[in-house]
Amino acid sequence: DSGVTQTPKHLITATGQRVTLRCSPRSGDLSVYWYQQSLDQGLQFLIQYYNGEERAKGNILERFSAQQFPDLHSELNLSSLELGDSALYFCASSLSGGIGSPLHFGNGTRLTVT
Amino acid sequence: TQLLEQSPQFLSIQEGENLTVYCNSSSVFSSLQWYRQEPGEGPVLLVTVVTGGEVKKLKRLTFQFGDARKDSSLHITAAQPGDTGLYLCAGEGEYGNKLVFGAGTILRVKS
């Protein structure tokens, strides 16, 4: 058990809809990362937060947004969903986000867009 | 954009055989991490290498970071069925952010 909790585990929704994925980091970790994993693209970095502030941005679409709240949990909002957004979405946390900080991953949210 | 190429993509071997997985890039990384992922779960960190030329051993697994910090390898000795899984290398940017993952190597060890 990594200590990172993601909810929900599975989500099935229709194209055009909006969903929110939730992540509770490991106790004491200040940094939260979001990744998207699909069969053809592998594990793609979306965005990183550190203590409530955005630290780094990856291949995150404009239709997607995220935030980290004062209690350090994070949410990833996906809107105007398309079939191609179907994927596993992982949240990870680390103590500081500094060089060499190990990432602890949750078990992911499987999103299916129909 | 920093890209990491992993090879091979798939590896199916018999129990007891040795294998090596490679992770290459044209970019320099401040650190290189190796993860293992099993179906239905998130990746789990195996090791982090930080210094060029560094070698780390974890039981039957040996990890090496290239001198120029652009490549890494994972060597497994006497593979066992429990080693089956997806192995991912990940390179860390200059400021410790934006961990970039390779596409992964699917390893299957048959008994």
Q: pLDDT tens digits for A41-98?
A: 789 999 999 999 998 898 899 999 999 999 999 999 999 999 999 999 999 999 976 7
* pLDDT over threshold 70, residue B72: yes
Rounded to the nearest integer, the mean pLDDT of chain B is 92
Under an 8 Å CB criterion, which residues of B touch A?
A: 30-31, 33, 35, 40-45, 48, 50, 88, 92-93, 95-104
pLDDT of residue A40: 78
Strands B55-58 and B61-65, by their bridges, are antiparallel
Whether residue A12 lies within 8 A of chain B, CB to CB, comes out as no
Quote the CA–CA distance of A36 and B49 in Å, as a whole number: 24
Tell me which chain A residue has its CA closest to the CA of residue B86.
Answer: A42
Which residues in chain A are contacts of B65 at CB distance < 8 A? none
Kindly state the average pLDDT of the residues B69-75: 96
Asked if B42 lies within 8 A of A90 by C-beta distance, the reply is yes
pLDDT of residue B98: 75
pLDDT of residue B92: 85
Which residues in chain B are contacts of A108 at CB distance < 8 A? 41-42
Of how many residues is chain B composed?
111
For chain A, strand residue ranges (E) read 5-7, 10-13, 19-24, 31-38, 42-50, 53-57, 64-68, 74-78, 87-94, 104-105, 109-113
Quote the CA–CA distance of B62 and B43 in Å, as a whole number: 19
Asked if B30 lies within 8 A of A92 by C-beta distance, the reply is no
pLDDT of residue B2: 61
Kindly state the average pLDDT of the residues B4-26: 96
Whether residue A104 lies within 8 A of chain B, CB to CB, comes out as yes
Q: How confident is the model at residue B95 (pLDDT cuts 50, 70, 90)?
A: low
* pLDDT over threshold 70, residue B96: no
Q: What is the CA radius of gyration of chain B?
A: 13
pLDDT of residue B49: 93
Asked if B98 lies within 8 A of A104 by C-beta distance, the reply is no
Residue B79 C-alpha, separation from nearest chain A C-alpha, in angstroms: 25
